[in-house]
Structures are given as structure tokens and as C-alpha cells.
């Protein structure tokens, strides 16, 4: 008979953590209580009771006991329970599974935001009871299709759906689909523990390939019961036992391939006892086969991921204790969510920092091992002058930090660009190219240079640009910098200067009011002197003086705005690029001392053209002449806006 045990069988990370916490407290002595059985496994609960740990079912029951330490099990409890325990004077150790705690945070926030919470799971399960205790508004618990179909909420209701961590994933999908069809504003979060999903998927695959399937777990274990249902669906010969004494070996004599899985609350020693009984080996033999490896600081080990939290990875390295990789020892990237990068069952290499981290676990580092490999990669790139590409991990005061295979490279601000960069924040998260110009890992000095790549690239572009441009050609570029006297336009290899006097046929007071950095500008090349390119926007076909002789012939009545004033007169803008002089003596029949006594900037006036000089581009106006004409004809005098 071939026996195959599921890799994920037995304690999950959350249960393992909770059980270890209780054993540690029991070893310290004193009064230790658990709020409900720490796990749904009678064998473990009985063993803990032998060590003096007392199971408390209700807070009322706790009042009659001596003060001590109360341990909240991995299922979690309602929010109010924490305060009630504090009020009773007990020290609290919270062993709530991180995946369950995440659900508490979700329902707490979303119920505050006005969502109706739908919890998919067993309403009598302590985990679901705990989740309910974090809801701040309406909630509904759904366990089956009938209950899902009965949900009847107002159409515009916002609904947040979560799941018991040990619920059957396929059933969860089916129930979500039913609720979704009701037309609510739905926000679905698959909160089934990834270890649970992994365990259920693996159990189903193993059951398909087996003649018989054995599921080990406590009678009250929800996740074990779901494993049994999944296996039974795939393999008719599926049996549910709690311990070796429940096993009838005669049932398995005719089977060639037998699969074994176990719930998250099943201790490994029970799995081994069952396996021993079926394979006719002694428990001692099995322990002898499972040699505990000897390890030391600095050693590189390989292991399998047992559990993942946002900031921590638990690794089975074949040692008596699990290895722990914290977020800061996994990557240099800040605030990364490890659950998105690493999954249960993954194989990983890591380096041992401490055999005992002070809590009985092995402290590991992944990033330092990766950095060692990364340094070799950077050294090769340095020697070969290779161009590297990496994402900017952090913007620092004096430059940028990029990471290549967990090895950090610093790019000083002076080597980031071929021009001055005032704001480096724009590079955050961007992929950039650079070369290594200094490599000294012992002094932690690995310097990158992006500037020389940009300069080299720009030289190539400059050569290509000057080979094809000529005076009079229309070009397009991007505004790179703006000064009081003009704007510098990046033409792709070289900059062209668009002087303030060439920005318009009219008068430009301030270039920054006309352009902003990043604008696309189409101009023509007015002049080329060596590497200096002069640009202009004063296109000949847009010259307002081209037909000015016809538009502003002597005797024509015109309207314009006062643009500027001097002591001898005011300059009137007839259109952009065409100004005319209204002499102080021509403002009125009455004596005007200076133009400012009668006019103001921006004022619109009507006057008569009394002189036009095409060669000098000069036009003279007179309001007085227009007034005289009106008096001679008896018409109303021209209107001057006040």
C-alpha cells in the first residue's frame, strides 16, 4: 500500500502560533486561561489541561477565578470582549490569527462607512461570532444557497462580503455569485486564509488520485469537516478520524493508494501516529527518520513557506524551530505587502542571522543573501561598463536610491540628469538607466551615473539635428526653461532660444505668462550661429504690417486700447503687433498737460489715422481731428470710454 500525506496537512501558522503561546505561558506557571478551547482538538486541549491551563467558556465564568493570564484563541473575539477582560483585571495575550484580525479591521471600517456586512460562514462558529462583534451596523450571516437567496435589502444598499477563513472556497464563489445577481453595490473580499485554500486544493487533488482518503481532525473542527466534504466529493472511500484509536486498519487492506490530510488544528504527532499505524512502523522510527538538521549563523538554508503575513514570512527549514524572515530582511523596498510576493508552499533560500532570535525561532534574511548575489551582478556591470535598468526605490536628499537584486545603488543628484533638477520626486518609482562608476561594497559605496548616458545620447541627437536643420525651417520642441528674456526650447539634441522679442508680433511683457515648462512649441529657425539656434514665432504670413497700409490708411477711423503712455503721448494697440501714437496735442481740443490726465492703460478709444509711414512702421492718430470732423458734419462727437 502506497501512502501519500498532503504537504499542508496539520497545524496552520495561526493555530501553531496560538498553541505555542499557551504552552509557553503554561511553562511559566501562574494562572493561565483560554477563552474557549485554544483549538478544536480534544487531544491538545486535554494535554494543556494537564499542564494547568483552564478553559473558560464565558466571561461570567471567569469572574469566579483567580486573576492571571487569559489567552484569546486564533478564532478571535468581538471588540467589546477586550475591554471586558481588561475591566476584570486579567492580562491579555491575543493569539488571534492575523488573517482573522484582518477581517475584523475590514468589517469595522466598512460598517462605519455605511456598508451592510455579509459574512459567509457558519453562524455558530466562534470565528464568525467574533467577526459579528466588530460590525458597527447591519450584518447578515450566510452559510448556504437558501440563505443567500433569502437576502432582501434595498437596491441601493452598499454590501461588503467577507468569509470565514476556513470556508470552502468553491461554495464561497457560488454564494457570492447568487448575492451579486441581486444588483447591490457589492464589495467582495476573499478572506479565506491562503493556507486554507492551499490545503483544500491539495486535498481535492490528492483525493482524485487515491483509492481511499483519510482526513484527520477534531470532531468540532470546521476546517477539517470541510476537508472531509471536499475529499468525499472526489473519493467515495473517504474516512474522518480524530486519532489513531479511531482508525480501522481492516478498511484499508484492499486499497493500493491511500491519501492522508489533516485539519489546521491537528497536531503533527497525531498525523505521525496514524501514519505509523498504517505503515507498520514505530513512532520512534519515524522520529529517527526525521533528522533534525544542525545549523549555524551565516549558513545558507532552503525551506518551504508555511505562512505569510504582510510583514513576516514563516519558513520550514527542517530545524526544530521555524525560520522567520521579517519584511525588513526580505526587501529594501519600504511598506511592501509580503502576501503579494510570497505564497504558502513556495521554496526559498535564506541566510541564518541568529539560530535563536530570543523567541525560540531562527532569524533569517533573504535580502542579504540576494544582495550578495546582487553585488556580484553589479561588479560585473562595473567591470563591463554595462548599462543597467532599475526602479527608483527611494528619493533621498542628495540623490536617488535604486535596488538591483536587493543590492542598493546610490545615484547622486549631480549625476541624475544632464541639466539641473530641482525636484527629484518625479523619479519616485520610475525605471531609469545608469552605469556603475564606483564599486566599493566594503565601504557600502556603489555609485551609479545616469548623466553620462543622457549626455552621450544627447550628443548623438545633436549631431543628427544639426545635420538636418537650416535657417527658415519650421521645427517643433518642448519648453525646457523660461527666463525673463526668453524661453529655451528642447529640439531633441540641442536647445533653441526663443527670445522675448520673437514670441509674438505684439508686445510680450513676461515670457512666463505666455509659456510654461513642458509646453509644445512650433517655431521657425531664424538664425544658426555655431551651436546656437535662434527661434521665432513671428511667421511672415502672420505679419500684421503686411496689409496695414490698406487697413490703416490716412483718414480711417480706428479703435484700439491704450497700451502704454509717455509724457508726449499714448501708444494705442490697434491689434497685436501694430501700435499707433496718439500725441498729447491730439487727445482733445482742450489743452492736455500729459496723457495720464485724460487716459488710462487699457482704455478703449476711437481716433482718426492722420499719418501712415510704411517704411518706419509708424502710425499717428488724432481724437481731435475726429472731433473736428464731427462738428463740421453736425454728427455726435466720438465716444471715448471712461
Sequence-separated (6 or more) residues with CB below 8 Å from residue 374: 403, 404, 405, 406, 407
The DSSP bridge partners found for residue 432 are 390
Distance CA 224, CA 603 (A): 88
The pLDDT assigned to 280 comes to 56
**pLDDT range class, residue 287, cuts 50, 70, 90:** very low
Determine the Cα–Cα distance for residues 290 and 304; give it in Å rounded to an integer. Answer: 16
pLDDT of residue 509: 84
pLDDT at 235: 94
Catalytic-labelled residue, pool 127, 202, 273, 502: 127
**Given CA atoms 504, 510, 511, 516 in this order, what sign does their dihedral have?**
negative
Residue with cell 505684439: 506
Q: Cell digits for 331?
A: 526587501
At residue 633, does pLDDT exceed 70? no
The b-or-e profile of 143-164 (16+ CB within 10 A means b, else e) is beeeebeebebeeebebbbbbb
Which residue, 63, 65, 32, is CA-closest to 49? Answer: 32
Q: What is the mean pLDDT of residues 133-143?
A: 95
How confident is residue 289, by pLDDT bands cut at 50, 70 and 90?
Answer: very low
pLDDT surpassing 60 at residue 291:
no
- Is the model's pLDDT at 637 over the cut of 70? no
Q: Report the pLDDT value the prediction gives residue 256, as an integer from 0 to 100.
A: 81
Q: Cell for 597? A: 490726465
C-alpha torsion sign, points 423, 426, 430, 432: negative
Domains for the chain: give ranges and CATH numbers: 2-94 (3.40.50.11270), 98-192 (3.40.1010.20), 300-365 (2.40.50.140), 370-454 (2.40.50.140), 469-542 (2.40.50.140), 548-633 (2.40.50.140)
β-strands 32-35, 557-566: how paired? unpaired
Helix/strand/coil for 60: helix
Q: What is the DSSP string of 405-431?
A: TTEEEEEEGGGT-SS--S-GGGGTT-E
pLDDT digit string, tens, across residues 510-542: 999 899 999 999 999 999 998 899 999 988 888
Q: What is the b/e burial string over 489-525, where b = at least 16 CB atoms within 10 angstroms of the residue's CB?
A: bbbebbbbbbebebbebeebeebeebbeeeeebebbb
- Binning pLDDT at 50, 70 and 90, where does residue 634 land? low
Cα separation, 142 vs 199, whole angstroms: 23
pLDDT at 285 over 50: no
Helices 98-112 and 13-28 cross at an angle (nearest 10°) of 110
Comparing 598 with 197, the larger pLDDT belongs to 598
638 falls in which pLDDT band (50, 70, 90)?
A: low
Give the separation between CA 391 and CA 402, rounded to whole angstroms: 6
The grid coordinates listed for 43 are: 487531544
Q: Positive or negative CA dihedral for 199, 201, 202, 206?
A: positive
pLDDT at 161: 96
Torsion angle of the four alpha carbons 297, 303, 309, 311, in this order, in degrees rounded to the nearest 10:
30
Q: Percent of the chain scored above 90 by pLDDT? A: 47
Question: Which grid cell sits at 493?
Answer: 539634441
Q: Point out the least confidently predicted range of 144-153, 246-255, 333-342.
A: 246-255
Residue-wise pLDDT for 379-418, tens only, equals: 989 999 999 999 998 899 889 999 887 788 999 999 998 8
Please determine, for residue 282, whether its predicted confidence score (pLDDT) is greater than 90. Answer: no
Residues 223/265, Cβ–Cβ less than 8 Å: yes
pLDDT of residue 609: 93
The whole-number average pLDDT for the span 108-135 is 94
* pLDDT tens digits, one per residue of 42-66: 778 888 898 899 998 888 888 878 8
Between 1 and 2, the higher pLDDT residue: 2
pLDDT digits (tens, 9 = 90+) for 198-243: 888 899 999 999 999 999 988 878 788 889 999 999 999 999 998 8
Highest mean pLDDT among 7-11, 91-95, 367-371, 625-629: 91-95
For residue 582, what are the β-bridge partners?
Answer: 570, 621
Q: How far apart are CA 559 and CA 566, in angstroms?
A: 20
Query: What whole-number distance in Å separates Cα of residue 269 and Cα of residue 539?
Result: 89
Q: Given this model, what pLDDT does residue 266 score?
A: 83
Residues 19, 51 contacting (CB under 8 angstroms): no
| Between 425 and 631, residue with greater pLDDT | 425
Please report the pLDDT score of residue 448 as a whole number. Answer: 93
Sign of CA dihedral 411, 415, 418, 420: positive
Number of H helices, E strands in the chain: 17, 32
Mean pLDDT of the region 367-384: 87
Question: Is 283 a residue whose pLDDT tops 60?
Answer: no
Q: What is the pLDDT of residue 103?
A: 94
More confident residue, 631 or 444: 444
**Mean pLDDT value across the chain:** 87
- Give the single-character DSSP code of 316: E
For the question of residue 127 being annotated catalytic, the response is yes
Distance spanning both ends of the chain, measured CA to CA: 109
For 250, phi and psi rounded to 5 degrees? -60, -25
Residue 642's pLDDT band, with cuts at 50, 70 and 90, is very low
Distance CA 13, CA 199 (A): 12
Q: Which three cell numbers stand for residue 617?
A: 512702421
The answer to which of 88-92, 284-288, 551-555 has the lowest mean pLDDT is: 284-288
Instruction: Over range 574-588, report the average pLDDT.
Output: 92
The yes-or-no verdict on residue 431 having pLDDT over 90 is yes
pLDDT for 143 equals: 94
Amino acid at each position: 500500500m502506497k501512502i501519500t500525506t498532503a504537504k499542508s496537512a496539520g497545524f496552520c501558522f495561526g493555530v501553531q502560533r496560538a498553541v505555542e503561546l499557551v504552552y509557553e505561558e503554561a511553562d511559566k506557571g501562574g494562572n493561565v486561561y483560554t477563552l474557549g478551547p485554544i483549538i478544536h482538538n480534544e487531544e491538545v486541549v486535554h494535554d494543556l489541561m494537564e499542564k494547568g491551563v483552564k478553559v473558560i467558556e464565558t466571561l461570567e465564568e471567569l469572574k469566579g477565578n483567580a486573576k492571571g493570564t487569559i489567552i484569546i484563541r486564533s478564532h478571535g473575539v468581538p471588540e467589546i470582549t477586550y475591554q471586558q477582560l481588561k475591566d476584570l483585571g486579567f492580562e491579555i495575550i491575543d493569539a488571534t490569527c492575523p488573517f482573522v484580525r484582518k477581517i475584523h479591521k475590514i468589517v469595522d471600517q466598512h460598517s462605519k462607512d455605511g456598508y451592510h456586512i455579509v459574512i459567509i460562514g457558519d453562524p455558530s462558529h466562534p470565528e464568525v461570532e467574533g467577526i459579528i462583534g466588530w460590525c458597527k451596523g447591519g450584518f447578515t450571516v450566510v452559510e448556504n444557497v437558501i440563505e443567500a437567496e433569502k437576502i432582501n435589502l434595498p437596491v441601493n444598499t452598499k454590501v461588503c462580503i467577507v468569509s470565514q477563513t476556513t470556508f470552502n472556497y468553491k461554495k464561497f464563489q457560488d454564494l457570492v455569485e447568487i448575492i451579486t445577481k441581486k444588483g447591490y453595490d457589492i464589495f467582495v473580499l476573499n478572506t479565506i486564509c491562503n493556507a486554507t485554500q492551499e490545503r483544500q486544493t491539495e486535498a481535492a487533488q490528492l483525493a482524485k488520485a487515491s483509492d481511499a482518503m483519510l482526513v484527520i481532525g477534531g470532531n468540532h473542527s470546521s476546517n477539517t469537516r470541510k476537508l472531509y466534504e471536499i475529499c468525499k466529493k472526489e473519493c467515495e472511500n473517504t474516512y474522518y478520524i480524530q486519532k489513531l484509536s479511531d482508525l480501522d486498519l481492516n478498511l484499508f487492506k484492499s486499497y493500493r493508494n491511500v491519501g492522508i490530510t489533516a485539519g489546521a488544528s491537528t497536531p503533527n504527532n497525531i498525523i505521525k501516529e496514524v501514519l505509523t499505524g498504517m505503515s507498520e512502523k514505530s513512532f520512534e522510527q519515524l522520529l529517527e527518520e526525521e533528522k533534525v538538521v544542525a545549523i549555524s549563523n551565516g549558513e545558507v538554508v532552503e525551506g518551504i513557506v508555511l505562512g505569510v503575513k504582510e510583514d513576516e514570512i514563516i519558513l520550514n527549514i527542517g530545524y526544530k524551530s521555524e525560520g522567520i524572515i521579517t519584511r525588513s530582511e526580505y526587501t529594501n523596498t519600504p511598506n511592501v505587502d509580503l502576501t503579494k510576493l510570497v505564497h504558502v508552499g513556495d521554496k526559498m533560500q535564506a541566510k541564518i542571522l541568529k539560530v535563536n532570535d530570543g523567541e525560540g525561532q531562527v532569524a533569517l534574511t533573504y535580502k542579504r543573501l540576494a544582495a550578495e548575489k546582487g553585488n556580484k551582478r553589479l561588479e560585473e556591470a562595473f567591470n563591463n561598463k554595462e548599462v543597467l535598468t532599475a526602479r527608483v526605490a527611494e528619493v533621498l536628499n542628495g540623490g536617488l536610491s535604486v535596488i538591483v537584486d536587493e543590492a542598493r545603488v546610490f545615484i547622486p543628484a549631480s549625476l541624475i540628469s544632464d541639466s539641473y533638477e530641482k525636484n527629484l520626486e518625479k523619479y519616485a518609482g520610475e525605471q531609469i538607466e545608469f552605469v556603475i562608476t564606483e564599486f566599493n561594497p566594503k565601504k557600502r559605496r556603489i555609485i551609479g551615473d545616469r548623466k553620462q548616458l543622457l549626455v552621450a545620447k544627447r550628443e548623438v541627437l545633436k549631431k543628427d539635428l544639426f545635420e538636418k536643420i537650416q535657417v527658415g525651417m519650421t521645427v517643433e520642441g518642448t519648453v525646457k526653461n523660461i527666463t525673463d528674456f526668453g524661453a529655451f526650447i528642447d529640439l531633441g539634441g540641442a536647445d533653441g532660444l526663443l527670445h522675448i522679442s520673437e514670441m509674438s508680433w505684439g508686445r510680450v511683457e513676461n515670457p512666463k505668462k505666455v509659456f510654461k515648462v513642458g509646453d509644445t512649441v512650433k517655431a521657425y529657425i531664424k538664425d544658426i550661429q555655431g551651436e546656437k539656434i535662434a527661434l521665432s514665432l513671428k511667421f511672415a504670413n502672420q505679419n500684421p504690417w503686411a496689409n496695414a497700409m490698406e487697413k490703416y490708411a490716412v483718414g480711417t477711423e480706428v479703435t484700439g486700447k491704450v497700451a502704454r503712455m509717455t509724457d508726449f503721448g499714448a501708444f494705442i494697440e490697434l491689434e497685436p503687433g501694430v501700435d499707433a501714437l496718439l500725441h498729447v496735442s491730439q487727445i482733445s481740443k482742450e489743452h492736455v498737460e500729459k496723457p495720464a490726465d485724460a487716459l488710462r492703460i487699457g482704455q478703449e478709444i476711437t481716433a482718426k489715422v492722420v499719418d501712415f509711414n510704411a517704411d518706419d512702421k509708424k502710425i499717428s492718430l488724432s481724437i481731435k481731428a475726429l472731433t473736428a470732423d464731427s462738428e463740421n458734419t453736425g454728427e455726435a462727437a466720438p465716444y471715448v470710454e471712461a
